[in-house]
A and B are shown apart, each in its own frame.
Chain A
Amino acid sequence: MVLYRNFGMMDRKKILDEGLLEKYLLDELNTSDRSLVEHAIKNDKEVKKKFSELEEDFEKMAFENAIIPPSTVKAELKTKLEETKVRQLSYRPLLVAASISILFLASSIWMYTEWQKTQKEFEVLQNQTTDLKERLNSLEENYVLTNTRLKTIDGENIIPLLLKGNELSPNSRAIAYINHEKKIVVVNSEGLPKLPEDKTYQMWSDVNGEMIDMGVLKTSEKLITLKYIDKAESLNITIEPEGGNDHPTVENLISYVTL
């Protein structure tokens, strides 16, 4: 209604005088003139009447000058319309199939990459598990070792003996743990000073004045199990050539303890 009021005499005059209706009919107008004319046709009775007359005359003239096309044109038009229908029908399943296979391909690729990812994650996990197992094994071994060592040096029947160094090696300290029941001797030789490579510490048992070899003491090990000698009266440590000696070098006695 507002638009109708805005449409004034000037617009009607312009449309009728400038022949805009003819140009509109022939599709020759620009967008703004076209919408002006369309608005006028809808809302202005006089313009509407003029345009209807023009259309009627135009159509009559066209019918008066009609040329009948050959019947082949209609036949071809029919074939073309049927053809597009047939094509539509035959293309549709193809399109559906194509889109399904695209979907299938896409999901396959996605699943493959997911599978690859999972595979990698699984491998990492497997490696971690192996690593953990190994660590657990070594911990278990360590535990067993420590436990047995503890058992050998800590118990009711175990006697710990401290061997202090004499004037030859005043800083030497060694501890011997003796279990007479199980006949075990274990020595902690950590407190013995390091020797040149061609020398070693060796321990001996004194039985009725005879020195019997118990074994070599390595300074690199914490607890060394030595031979248990029955009826030993004392334990003695000497410095001997590398690999140990058959008889003790008495001048090199650095420590002893009586039992």
Chain B
Amino acid sequence: MANHLNDNELIRQLSNKDKNALYAIYDKYSGALYGVILRMCRNEAAAQDLLQETFIKIWQKIDSYDSTKGKFYTWAYRIAKNTTLNALRKPELLIQSEDLSVHTNKTEEEILPDYTELSGAIKKLEPHHQEAISLVYFRGYTHREAYIEMGVPLGTFKSYIRQALNLLRDSYKNELIVFWFCIEILA
């Protein structure tokens, strides 16, 4: 809750064009957003440029953020995703990344697992649940693209997502209970 209030305060300062507020927001969210951007474009140099572009857009567009419509991270995630998708649609970047994947096949094999491998609660899910969530949340696929990518019917894909989200919910709830339990014991 304190964290949430802190966010609101930072966003208020950001609206007043306080650069330090942007740097504080960067410190908090850049890792999460970079994780998404890098998994989407799989090119470190391009991902770093896109991360920077994302934060410049956050700086410029902060007035259009409406907290009643959702959390700040959701809003920032959409900017990062759309910025990356737009860049991937540009042919020069596609060619570049294709070239890179051909030339640096060896290094890619070393680095790629780092890009795509997921950790945390999602790691505990079944592989098909992991893949479904990974495609839409981390790889920038729409539902319609993702079910084709997975090679399952749309209905099946939707239920994968549903099941995965429910399992994640249970996992985080249990974490919270364990957390409270620890706090209680410590107290």
Contact = CB atoms under 8 A, between A and B. Distances in A.
Majority secondary structure of chain B interface residues (helix, strand, loop or mixed): helix
A25 B31 contact: no
B31 A60 contact: no
Contact of B32 (A28, A38, A41, A63): A63
Contacts of A64: 118-122
Interface string B34-60: 111011000000011001100110010
A42 B115 CA distance: 37
Contacts of B38: 67
Contacts of B22: 81
A196 B35 CA distance: 125
B4 to A, nearest CB: 11
B32 A51 contact: no
Contact of A26 (B23, B122, B137): B137
B172 A66 contact: no
B136 to A, nearest CB: 6
Interface string A17-37: 001001101111000000000
B151 interface: no
A65 B118 contact: yes
Given A57-B168, A67-B38, A74-B23, A22 B161 contact: yes
Interface residues of B, number: 51
Contact of A27 (B47, B48, B68, B82): B82
A27 B81 contact: yes
Interface in A90-144: none
Interface string A75-86: 011101100000
Given A27-B81, A73-B30, A61 B51 contact: no
A65 B35 contact: yes
B56 A62 contact: no
Contact of A62 (B35, B55, B78, B172): B35
B88 interface: no
Nearest to B44: A70
Contacts of B165: 22, 54, 57
Nearest to A81: B19
Nearest to A84: B56
Contacts of B32: 59, 62-63, 65-66
B162 interface: yes
A58 interface: yes
Contacts of B70: 25, 41, 51, 55
A65 B77 contact: no
B143 A66 contact: no
Contacts of B142: 26, 28
Contact of B69 (A22, A41, A63, A67): A41
B182 to A, nearest CB: 17
A149 B77 CA distance: 111
A68 interface: yes
18 contacts: A25-B70, A27-B82, A53-B169, A55-B70, A55-B74, A58-B137, A61-B122, A61-B137, A61-B168, A62-B35, A63-B32, A64-B122, A66-B32, A66-B34, A69-B51, A73-B30, A77-B52, A81-B56
Given A69-B48, A80-B52, 10 more contacts: A19-B143, A19-B158, A28-B143, A58-B74, A58-B137, A64-B122, A65-B35, A65-B119, A66-B35, A73-B51
Which 8 pairs across A and B sit closest by C-beta, in order of nearness? A64-B120, A66-B31, A62-B32, A69-B34, A67-B35, A27-B78, A66-B32, A59-B73
